[in-house]
A and B are shown apart, each in its own frame.
Chain A
Amino acid sequence: MGSSGDARMGCDRPMIADILVAGLVFGSLYGLVAVGFNVLHRPTNVVNFAQGELIMIGAMLMAATPIGGLPWGVAAACVMAIVAVVALVEERVAVTPVLRRSSHAVGWVITTLAFSLLLAEAAGRLWTDQPSTVVPPWPLSMRVQEVLGVRFSSYQVAVVIVAVAVVALLGVLDRSRLGTALRAVAADRDGARLRGVDPTALTRRSFLLGGALAGLTGVLAAPLLLASVTMGLGLLIKGFAALAVGGIGDNRGVLVAGWMLGVIEAAGAVFASPGSQSVVLFAAMLLILLIRPNGLRGLAVQRHV
């Protein structure tokens, strides 16, 4: 219809640059959500369905007084700490009781969903659906600059760098004794206990770390997406898609998958017919999974403990 259709037929360099920038930036957020899934999944084999709402709580806290009024670094640290504590509460009430009955129990599907609903309920009572702006920390800004026909803001660049840095740091952690212990618990919770590893303590630490990561993702997402009580579900679904494509347990894989999904999503908005972007996104995801059923790098099932 009209030139909307014309624009979809054509393809120029700035258009491709727009798609790549949006894909990398928002794909980094999807990747971080998926990395958060991985951190919690390692010692528990649990996929935390409350992850999206933890991120939403992080973003809303960043926009709310008095935390939002603090210097950015202090505010971000406070938010990460609060969300980490919330995640720990989730672990205590919604995950450990289920795993205590059986390490192979799947009751966590319901309990983490229930916890997610509780968080949404609390947010619905505390805040309206009006979005709030969060300003990026100095010297970053959302002001768009054009370099060689590519338009981006300094904050967008920072988000991509932070996502890469988080994955790199988790890679270092993965190679430490703690990382080895986490993999041992992931492979056989009871077996690891027999070798002197305390799965409960590791689960608790992972939830603290995963919660802090969810808080960080919320902090990073707030200036881009605006802080809103409705933001959690969309991020959860796209993060889950990145997890499926990248492979459970593979942090580098899920970040790359996040970028791929971000680019496909942005390209769908430009090239697909109006209203069919989700179809394009999930069709691409299914296609990738058909070709690479174990994730992009196929590493998830090749780990040795």
Chain B
Amino acid sequence: MTTYRTDGMSRRGFLAGTTSATALGMLGLGTAACGSPEGGGKATARVGWVEPKTGRLAAAYKPIYVGARLALEELKANGGLLGQAVQVMEEDDKGSPASQPAVAQRLIREAPTFVVGPTGSSQVLASVTALARAKLIQSAWGGAELLGDGDRFPYHYQLVYNTTQQARVAARFLHEVRGLRKIGIIVENSEFGTSIRDAVVQTLRDTYSAKPVAVEVFEVDASDMTPFVRNLERADVDGLGLFTGQPQATILILRAMAASGFHPVIVSHDLNYIEALGEFPRALLDGFFGTTYRGLTYTGEEEPSAEVRELVERINKHPDTAGLGYSAVTSPYYDYLMLMAKVIGETKSLEPAKLKAALDQVDGYQGVRAKVSFTSKRHSGIADEDITVGTLMSAKEPQSLGGVLRRRADGM
């Protein structure tokens, strides 16, 4: 037998490949038809779900979706949405902005009632842009202020505080509450870092007629933070806004500070207590604060609500939490799903247009973390008064319920 072979593919291979692809395509079409809304069978309420299932961030992002999974359990226990079973259409975005257009295409085909995720500012920007034309209601975890612009992204609802809100609270804490006047900023070189740096500078200027004494921007893959920290030290910074989404960068900055005995008051973006913090002197960690939600904090006189404590208990029991209860409880997805259930119940509809009209009129909805309100133009829903500052080391206090809640900083 003679085999004719080219550098690329044999004729037999080509025919076999084409046949297989056709068969798979037909199978796929068949599956799609069975699963489509017109495909018959029992009606279900579909929830689109964007989460990294593979890739470098797969394990890291699992805790962020724990709240949503708990909310789903509640919805299912209460009979679903409008009596229809809830069907989750999970899509793996690999934690990558580049995956979002393809994920959006699949979601558009699946036509869910609303979409949960993705997570991460860059991923969210790519996703909401791709989904906007499909008019799919969505809430993702991204802090950029423009994600709450109802004119620009009319179907995206932001249930996290945005960078401007965060900057205002951080500046207020350092300048007004702690009375610090030599405020410095250190941020990562990213969309998030740039936007929060600008917001802090603007708040200091507009509200306090002040300006930062030092601004440092580091690359996200920077090996050594010592030069940046030395710049802050030389500027005699006494209050520091430290904003990065990279836990490694935070630890390296603290290490550089510990090495030189430089202990400014820090307001950060992240209050997760991780084991690597154990190497630092207590004096440095006692001055470490972070922006958080008022509903997730306690004081000597004020305790978190029973609802919050019950949720924390469930979060702590969930296998996906993996010790990152703080990430799980601050995630917007529990509040988002419960809000959607309420809106669907009130409108008695699963139509996105009706749900959007109802969401645009949500006023003072009490989520577990904060009050939420929207208008047709303002889709950044978290109330300013529900954003506060917590202490890092309270993660070690029994009132934190296993390191999930935080003590509110004095004066906030």
Contact = CB atoms under 8 A, between A and B. Distances in A.
Interface of A: 1-4, 6-8, 15, 18-19, 22, 25-26, 29, 120-121, 123-133, 142, 144, 151, 153, 224-226, 228-231, 233-234, 237-238, 265-266, 269-270, 274-275, 277-278
Contacts of B83: none
A228 B214 contact: no
B301 interface: no
Contact of B215 (A4, A26, A229): A4
B276 A226 contact: yes
Contacts of A133: 251, 275-276, 278-279
Ranked nearest first, the 9 interchain pairs of A and B with the lowest CB-CB distance are A234-B221, A3-B235, A274-B217, A269-B227, A275-B217, A4-B214, A129-B60, A131-B248, A128-B60
A127 to B, nearest CB: 6
A275 B60 CA distance: 27
A15 to B, nearest CB: 7
Interface size of B as a range? 35 or more
B5 interface: no
Contacts of A29: 223
21 contacts: A3-B214, A3-B234, A7-B234, A26-B223, A124-B56, A124-B57, A124-B60, A125-B54, A125-B58, A125-B59, A128-B62, A130-B60, A131-B276, A132-B275, A133-B251, A133-B279, A238-B223, A269-B227, A269-B228, A269-B231, A277-B219
B218 A269 contact: yes
A129 B56 contact: yes
A224 B211 CA distance: 33
Contacts of B260: 144, 151
A225 B223 contact: yes
Contacts of A130: 60, 247, 272, 274-276, 324
Given A26-B223, A131-B274, A231-B248, A124 B235 contact: no
A237 B255 CA distance: 24
Main secondary structure, interface of A, reads helix
B248 A269 contact: no
A49 B189 CA distance: 25
A128 B59 contact: yes
Contacts of A26: 223-224
Contacts of A238: 223
A265 B222 CA distance: 9
Given A1-B215, A2-B215, A120-B56, 18 more contacts: A3-B235, A3-B236, A4-B215, A6-B234, A18-B226, A25-B224, A121-B56, A124-B52, A124-B56, A124-B59, A125-B54, A130-B272, A130-B324, A131-B247, A133-B276, A151-B260, A226-B252, A231-B248
A193 B324 CA distance: 56
Contacts of A229: 56, 60
B357 to A, nearest CB: 39
B230 interface: yes
Contacts of A275: 189, 194, 217, 219
Contact of B231 (A4, A25, A132, A142): A4
Interface in B136-174: none
Given A130-B274, A226-B248, A144 B259 contact: yes
Interface string B241-256: 0000011100110010
Given A2-B212, A120-B56, A270 B223 contact: no
A288 B397 CA distance: 55
Nearest to B231: A7
A141 B52 CA distance: 38
A99 B246 CA distance: 39
B278 A274 contact: no
A120 B194 CA distance: 28
B227 A270 contact: yes
Contacts of A225: 223, 248, 252
Contacts of B32: none
Nearest to A273: B217
A7 B231 CA distance: 6
Contacts of A269: 218, 222, 224, 227-228, 231
Contacts of B247: 129-131, 228
B248 A1 contact: no
Most chain A CB within a 10 A radius of its CB, from B236, B276, B278: B276
A121 B56 CA distance: 6
A156 B259 CA distance: 13
Interface in B182-226: 184, 189, 194, 201, 211-219, 221-224, 226
Most chain B CB within a 10 A radius of its CB, from A4, A126, A237: A4
Contacts of A231: 248
A226 B279 CA distance: 12
Given A1-B211, A4-B231, A270-B227, A128 B324 contact: yes
A120 B55 contact: yes
A277 B222 contact: yes
A168 B246 CA distance: 36
A270 B276 CA distance: 27
Contact of B230 (A18, A127, A142): A18
Contacts of B194: 275
A2 B235 contact: yes
B59 to A, nearest CB: 5
Given A2-B212, A131-B248, A144-B259, A124 B55 contact: yes
